[in-house]
Structure 1
Amino acid sequence: MKLHFLVLSVPITQLVISAPVLPVYAESAPETTGFQLQTITVTATKRETAVEEVPASVTVKDGAFLENHEVRTTEDMTRFVPNLSFKKSISGNAFVARGISTIDTALVSPMGLYINDVAYPLSYMQSQPFFDVERVEVLRGPQSTLYGKNSSSGVINVVLPEPDNEFFARGYIEGGSYETFSGAATARGPLVEDLLFFGITATGMDSQGYMENAVTGKNNVADEQNLSVRGVLRWTPTRDLDVSFSLDGLDRDYGIAYMRYEEGPYATNAYEVSSNEEDRAELDNLGQTLRVKYAFTDMELTSITAHQSTDYGMIFDFDRSQASFGYTEMDLEQDIWSQELRLTGAVSAFEWLGGLYAGIEKLDNDWALNHVNPAITNTRITESDFDNVALFGQISWALTDKLKTTAGLRLDHYDSSGSQDLTRSGQTIIFDQDLSETELLPTAALIYTFHDTVEGYLTYSTGWLSGGYNYYSASSNDTFTYDPEYTQNYEAGVKTRFLDNRLQADLSIFYTDIDDKQVREEVSGGVGAWQFTNAAKAHTTGVEVEFRAMPLKNMEIFGGLGYAYTEVDEWIGTADGKAIDYSGNQLPWAPDLTANIGVSYYWNNGFYGLADVSWNGTQYFDAANALEEDGYALVNLKAGYTMENWDISLWCKNLFDEKYANKKVDDSMGRTMLEDGKPLTVGLTLNWRI
């Protein structure tokens, strides 16, 4: 299958390239009109590169686009990225790229999230506020030879602006549905011209949320209050030395009463839960980063020293009813230190990158299930430590003025130790396991320039997701751990620019093998008895298409489509104590279709309007593919008026109040519970800038 894919990809790529070229060079092609789309430059490859020169499927959205389309969080951004979705759940968040999802309750994601070169690996850190962002770069496919921490399905690279000699300030205040109020402000500029610069950004939000408790009558059981602050000092004592220190913090206090029964005696209507517990969570995250850059004659050295501490606690109604059967409690503390050294350079026809990464992570997780049945009640106190060291690098060689080849390699090693004290029925059992793994991950790519406006590429890349610990449901020493998961990605694509750069269109096709897939399986032992194993082998194959067009000077049209068909090749699981063959099923948490299309128009008198539609296809939430969410579309509108320093706009999201589920799960009686997605919301925003 892999060989056939590569053989077929070449003629397919040539066909796609040649098809749109004919009208562009025909005599009837439009003349230059003096306006065009901006050229996109990215730093996802650790050097400034035009996006069409990157041999990978890349989506880039700049800060203006994010602000114009009310993208306030990392979750909001996914509606504009093909084959990227956000697994939003009270059991943990995760980005899902090309159908490669995670175990439910997993604490890490195969999709890497980086904010200014610092990794945010913990699932509870994946939903981050967005404001004053320079751009977001999404690379799909394994990225093992460019980033310090390995990413097996792709990378989201968030680039923040650096303060310089130009003073800049702006902010907004916003009010919306469900008594939601938010605001943000940023300022940056020189303290000492050409030498010392500052930047500070703050965002905040207060919302009662869209869920109501049918038991208590409260309409704020999914409320949220958050505050995020980031400060940076930048020092440039010479032309070659650039030093910056940043400090950032996030404080979130929020209700998590989203899960409700869809059927059975405790069933409720949409956006209505039945619970007799508080159902709350609190997240505190504090990070510090020291970044040092030094430019030599033909190369640049970058050092990134980072520390992050995260505290997460929650209480949740176990039975999701007004009956007092039980509740769960969780207290998680994570501390991460990392050091990355990266050297990049270019000599003649060669460009190269070499890097060293070292990370130390300590994670303590206390979890308790309190139940009226003493046999079910248990507490788990887990301590785990992870040490990770990696060498990575790649080299690109321009074989001719049209053909460039890239080869890279990553040597990755990690050691971990974990122990858990499980107390139930008055007895304490201790699990204790050490894990160690060393992996060699290659990558290779070819990119060929067919014309000044047409490039095609072929890429092979590999990745892995390290093994870990079962913090919530281990029943023995053997079920306390699980092993790594591996991906091999084969990809072909074409990137084009037509009509004097008023039309940009990209296409990629891919096939990804997933070996030793990490899955959750039932084991004997009663309610909540699960194990995480590497029982599955699967693959995902699909296509991604994106375009941007500027048919008129004040109008831009954009869109994208991603199709990722996942299939289980081998997986014999268990259900109700019986063996079940899941082969041929689709992987859970993986929508098969993601698509978007939008348009914006700016009148010369200051008025403007924007509209976009995003689609999510069918997805399943269980291995048996019995819990299904049909596809749905969300329509978003915005209209506003802009002046020299002010901007006011009225917007709505999910215009037609589409009902959909973020998650579905069956209880021990086979009754389905779900978590509702966001309903129709409207708001008014006032922006200012200096």
Structure 2
Amino acid sequence: MRIHKLFGLIFTFTLCALSPAMAGEDEASDNGTKTVTMDAVTVTATKRDGTLKDFPGNISVMDEMFMETRGVNNLSDLTRFAPNVYVKDTSSGGSIICRGISTIDTSLFSPMGLYVDDVAYPMGYMTNQDLFDVERVEILRGPQATLYGRNSESGVINIVREKPDNDQHNKVLLEAGNYHTARLGASTSGPITDDLLFYRLSLQGYTTHGYNENTLTGDDDVNGKKTLNGEGALRWTPTDDWDITLNVDGAARDMGISSLRYAEGPNSTDRFKVTSNESDKAYEKELGQSARVKYSWPSVDLTSITSHRTFDREHHLDSDRTSTALGYSDLDTDMDSWSQEFRLNSTDKGALSWLAGFYGRYEAIDAGIDFTHVNPLLTSKRSGDSEDLGYAGFGQATYEIVDGLRLTGGMRLDVSHNSGKQTYTPNTGPVSYEKDVDATEWLPMVSLAYDFTNNVTAYTTVSRGFLAGGFNFYSATSEDSFAYDAEHTMNYEVGVKTNWLNNTLRLNATAFYADITDKQVREEIAGAGLGVWKFTNAAEAHTQGVELEGQYNPIPELQLTAGFGYADSKVDEWETTSGGTPVDYSGNRLPWAPEYTYNLGVQYNHQSGIFALADLLGTGEQYFDAANELKQDGYRTVNLRTGYQTEEIEFSLWCENLFDEAYTVKQVKNGAGLAMVEDGAPRTFGFTLNWRF
């Protein structure tokens, strides 16, 4: 019944959209007023150059100018402009939530995939990437198992860097703000030998004290951050048929992670006031190499992507969050990942277009965490590792049955063997165990799209997705609590993409519904003691909602943008225990999944180069626990920016969270049932200089 209601909603919208869209299709400006026409947005989401309407699903695209003008520096900032996409970025890890499909708080992997230049960044800690010197970001909602090498359950974020070519491009970024914040970046790309050999280099450094103060020590940089990241590419085109790119990138991060404070109880503190007797630091190192080789025949391209990535995170954290030296945790997580992808795709413009690919990976993880406490009964150590060997065949084809009517079908076969082992050492002595998590998944998709006019396209898509199982490295105590299996989704989507008023107004709408089975959840181990959890597949859930996006350029100087996403994600069945007492979480909302997101923006560019813009960004209520007792109400922030902009230079003054809206990005209870929270960013302000030459 829920599916029918959503399909009816989008069908009604389509009928309403057809009339004004067709009426405005050939409309001309007869009063002499100058109009602006939005360019067709080129995307590579389907692994073939195309436009937004060629993709049978919901996709948002933000280019370099959009990001620079709004001062977007990382993925978390950018996704606030993408309906129903939310980046969880906390001291305990990261994840990307799309359409209300969230995951376990301490899970190593995200249900939404992240790619940079065709290379997967699989771990949750990698999600909030810096976005310096990026050509565009494509955000695809819904499973993308038949297009991308590594599987993704709820969608894909595809970050695309600009290919170096015969044109010389240089860029310098300088930014400074309050809380002792500064950012400096530089990039250059161009030819070494015209038409043959090209290069790209970029480097960025960032430092901030952050906005938290330790009430015990008086330090005001306890959640500060110092990062250095860089990237280099060498592109070789020996003939018109060959295109070979070698890429290396890396990042080093020194982060203060003292963000968690008590919101109630005797140790409660005010916003941005934390208490810790430990150093609360995290260090991350990330390094990647990749080779992308493309050979073109007259109507077919063959692409090979070989990649290797390593990631290391260490942290030291005051686990009790008080001024008393009671306990602390030390974590060390390493990943070493190799992958190889081959894909063939058609390039001609005939009635049939297709893609076929093969993907293989080897991934090794070492993960350990030590809990040290003044009470020996609460002291423990965990040291484990896993090896994941997987491969997949995938493909997708689109056939134009008649002019404007396209049928798309795809399939993925995904096979994996993941073996893990761990030694758990409580005060009673070490216990060792191991487990295998094997999976074979068939993931089909089918879509039908129809162009009612050149300006109106409607589509419907059905697809299957899954999130792979894994290991509970941080709280397992036995073989039974160590491993968990994959969760699965069946996804239904209908949408319409339109251009109105001589292509000055773009409006897209989508409705979706997803059944989630074998939902990965965290459950207590009855009688095992405080903070001992297992991950299981005990729940069934669903998510449903809508997404609306629009852009309007009534005159060349003025641009209006808007987006709204609603995701009603709820538990259908889940009976478990809490504190040893049976509980039923059926009907509760899934944690870490905002009910809605929205953005509303206005930008004015004067012919002199002076510009001003304002953005209203909203996030709906969300819960942080299965019982729905820890809740953040909906909040909204206002960002302002003004300055001077030409093709070569941009200087701007800015303020984010203008009204200093108070909100939290994490809430959790300690063993005594007292709530602890992490605060969201306060009002920040500063200036930015971008110079291109």
- With structure 2 as the length reference, what TM-score do the two structures score? 0.98
The separation in 1 between residues aligned to 2:433 and 2:27, in whole angstroms, is 74
**Residue 614 of structure 2, aligned match among 605, 611, 614:** 611
**Contact 2:35–2:555, Cα closer than 8 Å, also in 1:** no
1:100 aligned partner, one-letter code: I
1: CA distance, partners of 2:246 / 2:270: 49
Per the TM alignment, residue 28 of structure 1 is displaced from its structure 2 partner at its CA by 9.5
Asked if 1:516 is matched to 2:518, the reply is yes
- For the residues of structure 1 that align with 2:669 and 2:288, how far apart are their CA atoms? 38
Q: What does residue range 35-54 of structure 1 map to in structure 2 within 5 Å?
A: 35-54=36-55
Q: Does 1:4 align with 2:4?
A: yes
The equivalent residue for 1:459 is 461
Deviations 1:76-118 (A, max 9, x none): 1111000001112111111100000010100000100001001
Partner of 1:168: 169
Superposition RMSD in Å? 1.5
Deviates more, 1:49-58 or 1:288-297: 49-58
One-letter amino acid of the counterpart of residue 680, structure 2: G
Q: Kindly state the Cα deviation for residue 167 of structure 1 after the two structures are TM-superposed.
A: 0.5
Distance, in Å, in 2 between the alignment partners of 1:26 and 1:44 is: 30
Tell me which amino acid in the other structure corresponds to 1:629: Q
CA contact (8 A) 1:30 1:499 kept: no
Contact 1:164 1:189 in 2 (8 A): yes
Match of 2:127 in 1: 126
Aligned pairs for 1:481-560 within 5 A: 481-524=483-526, 525-560=528-563
Q: In 1, Cα distance between the equivalents of 2:25 and 2:241?
A: 45
Cα separation, 2, equivalents of 1:30 and 1:431: 77
Q: Is the 8 A contact 1:13 1:456 kept in 2?
A: no
Shift of 1:601: 1.0
Partner of 1:185: 186
Where 1:4 maps in the other structure, the secondary structure is helix
**Alignment match of 1:654 (pick from 653, 657, 667):** 657
Asked whether the equivalents of residues 329 and 368 of structure 1 are also in contact (C-alpha less than 8 Å), the reply is yes
* AA matched with 1:172: L
2:569 to 563, 566, 570: 566
Partner of 2:242: 241
Mapped contact 1:659–1:676 kept (Cα < 8 A): yes
- SS of 1:399's partner is strand
Specify the alignment match of 1:139 in structure 2. 140
Shift of residue 34, structure 1, vs aligned partner: 4.7
Measured after TM superposition, the shift of residue 11 of structure 1 is 3.9
Q: Distance in 1 between matches of 2:35 and 2:596?
A: 37
Aligned partners of 1:9 and 1:492 also within 8 Å: no
C-alpha contact 2:10 2:511 (8 A) present in aligned 1? no
Q: Distance in 1 between matches of 2:282 and 2:509?
A: 42
Instruction: Check conservation: 2:46, 2:147, Cα contact below 8 A.
Output: yes
Give the percent of matched residue pairs that are identical in Structure 1 and Structure 2: 46
Q: How far apart in 2 are the matches of 1:254 and 1:151?
A: 29
Q: Which amino acid aligns with 2:120?
A: A
Q: State the shift of 1:646 in Å.
A: 2.9
Residue 476 of structure 1: how far off its partner (Å)? 1.7
Tell me the equivalent position of 1:225: 226
**Is residue 663–residue 674 contact of structure 1 (8 Å, CA) maintained in 2?**
yes
- The superposition leaves residues 239-289 of structure 1 with CA deviations (integer Å, 9 ceiling, x where unpaired) of 000001011000000100000000001101101101101000000000001
The one-letter amino acid paired with 1:477 is E
Matched residue, 1:404: 406
In the other structure, the counterpart of 1:15 is 15
- Return the alpha-carbon distance in structure 1 between the equivalents of residues 646 and 152 of structure 2: 43
Q: Distance in 1 between matches of 2:225 and 2:689?
A: 21
Q: What is the letter of the counterpart of residue 363 of structure 2?
A: E
1:197, 1:14 → 2: CA distance? 46
Q: Distance in 1 between matches of 2:56 and 2:112?
A: 18
SS at match of 1:174: strand
1:80 alignment partner, SS class = coil
**Equivalent-residue separation in structure 2 for 1:517 and 1:363 (angstroms):** 23
For structure 1, list consecutive stretches of 5 or more residues without a partner in the other structure: none
Secondary structure at the aligned position of 1:478 is classed as: coil
Distance 2:519 2:172 in 1: 45
- Partner letter of residue 422 of structure 1? Y
**2:632 maps to 1:625:** no
Q: Determine the C-alpha separation between the residues in 2 that align with 1:234 and 1:677.
A: 41
Does the 8 Å contact 2:327/2:373 carry over to 1?
yes
Equivalent residues in 2 for 1:69-84 (5 A)?
69-84=70-85
**Alpha-carbon deviation of 1:600?**
1.1
CA deviation after TM superposition for structure 1 residue 533, in Å? 0.5
Alpha-carbon distance in structure 2 between the residues aligned to 1:319 and 1:101: 27
Task: Note the 1:382-393 alignment, pairs <5 A.
Answer: 382-393=384-395
Q: 8 Å contact 1:134–1:160 — kept in the other structure?
A: yes
Rounded Cα–Cα distance in structure 1 between residues aligned with 2:3 and 2:322: 53
| Alignment counterpart, residue 683 of structure 1, candidates 680, 683, 686 | 686
- The answer for the alignment partner of 2:432 in structure 1 is 430
Between 1:424-433 and 1:9-18, the stretch displaced more is: 9-18
Q: Render the CA deviation track for 1:606-631: whole Å, top value 9, x for unaligned.
A: 21111101000010001111100000
The DSSP-based 3-state class of the residue aligned with 2:659 is coil
State the shift of 1:643 in Å.
Answer: 4.9
Q: Distance in 2 between matches of 1:23 and 1:89?
A: 49
Structure 1's consecutive aligned runs of 4 or more residues displaced over 6 angstroms after TM superposition are 25-32
> Could you tell me how far apart the structure 1 residues matched to 2:45 and 2:281 are?
37
Aligned equivalent of 1:150: 151
Q: Do structure 1's residue 417 and structure 2's residue 419 form an aligned pair?
A: yes
* Partner Cα separation in structure 2 for residue 316 and residue 454 of structure 1: 54
Contact 1:79 1:614 in 2 (8 A): yes
Counterpart residue identity of residue 623, structure 1: A
For 1:20 and 1:616, locate their aligned partners in 2 and report how far apart those are by CA, in whole Å: 31
Q: Cα distance 1:27–1:78, how it changes in 2: closer, same or farther (>3 A)?
A: closer
Q: Paired residue for 2:363? A: 361
1-structure distance, mates of 2:18, 2:193: 54
Return the letter of the residue paired with 1:541: Q
Write the distance in 1 (CA, Å) between the matches of 2:380 and 2:25.
71
Asked whether the 8 Å contact 1:6–1:490 carries over to 2, the reply is no
Contact 2:345–2:355 at 8 Å: present in 1 too? Answer: yes
Residue ranges of structure 2 left out of the alignment (5+ in a row): none
**Bigger shift: 22-31 or 659-668?**
22-31
Structure 2 Cα separation of the partners of residues 597 and 548 of structure 1:
10
In 2, the alpha carbon distance for the partners of 1:181 and 1:11 equals 49
Of residues 244-253 and 598-607 in structure 1, the stretch that sits farther from structure 2 once superposed is 598-607
The answer (yes or no) to whether the contact 2:35–2:554 under 8 Å persists in 1 is: no
Asked whether the equivalents of residues 2 and 490 of structure 1 are also in contact (C-alpha less than 8 Å), the reply is no
Deviations 1:191-215 (A, max 9, x none): 0111100000111101111100000
Shift of 1:527: 1.6
Q: Relative to structure 2, which stretch is displaced further, 602-611 or 233-242?
A: 602-611
Cα distance in 2, alignment partners of residues 403 and 183 from structure 1: 49
- Name the structure 2 match of 1:589: 592
Deviations 1:635-659 (A, max 9, x none): 0000101356332110011000000
Task: Give, in angstroms, the shift of residue 435 of structure 1.
Answer: 1.4
